[in-house]
Copies of this chain bind each other. A is one copy, B any other.
Amino acid sequence: MEILNQQSWGTLLLACVIGLLIYSMEVDGEPVATYLGQRNQFLKSEIGEGVGAKLVLNEKEKRVDDILLAAKRKEVAQGFSETFPPTVNFLTGKPLVEKSAVFDIIKRMPKGGILHIHEISIADPWWVVQTITYLPHLYYCVSDDYFSSLRFKFAGTVPQEKPVACKTEWALVSESRAALGSSYFDQLLYHNLTMVTDQPDEVYPNTTMSWLRFQQALLSLTDLYFSVTSFDLFVKQSLLQMIQDNVQYVEIRTVLFPLQELDGTIHPPEYTLQQYIRIAEEFKQQYPNDFAGLKIISSSIRHPVNRPLIKAQVQLAMDLRKKYPNYFAGYDLVAQEDGGGPLVDYLNELLYPLEVGSDLPFFFHAGETNWQGTFVDDNLIDAVLLNTTRIGHGYAINKHPAVLEVVRSRGIAIELNPISNQVLHLVHDLRNHIGASLIAEDYPVVVSSDDPAAWGSLPLSHDYYMAFMAMSRETTGLTLLKQLALNTFKYSAMTASEKEAANDLWQAKWNIFLDETLAKYELTETMPKEEL
């Protein structure tokens, strides 16, 4: 070694480094090339198993796919160094989503139908504040719950009955607004009708607190919704915002509460259904190219104290199904499953339709929980044994292999609601949402939004963004989005001819979407793709 001087050592070192570099670039050697061939095959077969993988895109769709994938790749790459929006609570992450080019494309895309959404949480809560709470004859009181939530009532004169669970007497909204100033008062109303906050982790540190606030917001909205005074306005606005978000069809879950007149007269639930039908038909006339229709799923509250009511509500649902088969799709039980009232507690009631030969379809919420093998998530077993048409949420389904088998073999669609599950504490980082594996393995799924108004999301776009960005490969593009849209018709309660009509309406909008996306984003000589 001593024969080498310092310079020679340097030369030797340089030679070594170059040698290593050359060696390291030799990745196209024989075994490596063979390996890479096998790897491509493997990857292809795996990707081939996912939702939409079998769709063949036409030339125009392929060009849109290129644009979409360029944007997705860029945003995923950013996610390695900056905040990836699906990984933070939507209540704080929403502005990040809205900067996304992927989101912009998804917003413009016709997304098919919403198959899991609750009646009161479709219309933008700020619109509710600005319009519904400005209607005359609206009273309110302050509830004694932890969040001092508000209860409302439309009434011709001060309501006679004492406010339930309120620590104040009834007061007129218009008078308090005048006294406190509309700016302050309307903000207060807005926060009362939603879970929106800048500090979700502090305000809702756990499932219990998030559900508490959520339920209070829903109670307030329910008060505002089921009144003859507000109902038409509320429903029309809900449908309008839906088509503005490029959604063509909806199956609304509703408690079908009676509508109340200002003088206290109440109409039967059937009247509420009739109003939905009337409004939907008028809306269809008004927007024949945008709106393919609406169906109703009636929902009982699953709380144990409601048990005596369930049988009557099931019977009502059977009647309504018979009388309004084109509009009344079926029956469900709703409310936080962790709180009790599992399906197995209502067997007499839920087996009754079968016993008497009714064709009432079920659309059960089931498995909206992180628990495993408890009375809560075993709802999934009862849902499929009771022959549910779809499953609402199904978040615990990956822990139930036998349920997964039934779901696949019978084509029972799982209604995924990503943002709802995040805000209500089932999952923090949406990349951990079970939708990822369900989509990878082509289970029957639809993406929905549950209660978008409660957290300030659009009727469907934000949830599609989450499913697309957090629950599919970086390399999966338009095939997934298109199939998700098609699935909403496929797994809907529509008849074959209704599906065909909805598909035609959607296809026309799809073609426009492709052209508009190309016009806005396609690579031109003056605008490189990096501008996405």
Interface residues of A (CB under 8 A from B): 20, 23-24, 26-27, 29, 31-32, 35-36, 38-39, 42-43, 45-46, 49, 76, 80, 87, 201, 307-308, 311, 338, 344, 347-348, 351, 354-355, 370-374, 378, 381-382, 385, 398-403, 426-429, 431-432, 436-437, 440-441, 470-476
A107 to chain B, nearest CB (A): 23
Question: Which residue of chain B is the closest to A31 with respect to CB atoms?
Answer: B351
Candidates B31, B381, B437; contact of A46 at CB < 8 Å: B381
**A87-B370, A398-B436, A399-B440 given. 11 additional CB < 8 A pairs?**
A24-B348, A27-B347, A31-B355, A39-B344, A46-B403, A49-B401, A370-B432, A373-B475, A399-B473, A401-B441, A426-B432
CB distance from A206 to the nearest CB of B (A): 8
Query: Quick one: given A308-B20, A374-B474, A473-B372, are A42 and B402 in contact (CB under 8 Å)?
Result: yes
Distance of A442 from chain B, by nearest CB (Å): 9
Select from chain B the residue with minimum beta-carbon distance to A469: B372
CB distance from A464 to the nearest CB of B (A): 16
- Could you give 25 example pairs across A and B, Cβ below 8 Å? A24-B307, A24-B308, A27-B348, A31-B351, A32-B351, A35-B351, A39-B344, A42-B402, A46-B381, A46-B401, A46-B402, A46-B403, A49-B402, A371-B431, A372-B431, A372-B471, A372-B474, A374-B474, A398-B398, A398-B437, A398-B440, A399-B473, A427-B432, A428-B428, A432-B432
- Report A9 CB to chain B, min CB distance, Å: 18
Name the B residues within 8 Å of A80 (CB-CB): 338
User: For A311, A372, A426, A474, which residue has the most chain B Cβ atoms within 10 angstroms?
Assistant: A372
**Complex Cα gap A382–B46 (Å):** 13
Which residues of B have CB within 8 Å of A26? 348
Question: How far is the CB of A291 from the nearest CB of chain B, in Å?
Answer: 35
CB distance from A349 to the nearest CB of B (A): 9
A443 to chain B, nearest CB (A): 11
Cα-based distance from A347 to B39 in the complex (angstroms): 12
Chain B residues, Cβ within 8 Å of A398: 398, 436-437, 440
From A471, which residue of chain B is reached at the shortest CB distance?
A: B372
Known: A385-B35, A431-B371. Contact between A23 and B348, CB under 8 A?
A: yes
Given the complex, which residues of B lie within 8 Å of A42, measured CB to CB?
381, 385, 402
Question: CA A355 – CA B35 in complex, angstroms?
Answer: 12
Residues of B within 8 A of A432 (CB): 370, 426-427, 432
CB neighbours of A87 from chain B (8 A): 370
Whole-angstrom distance from the CB of A311 to the nearest CB of chain B? Answer: 8
Query: Quick one: which of B338, B374, B472 contacts A372, CB cutoff 8 A?
Result: B472
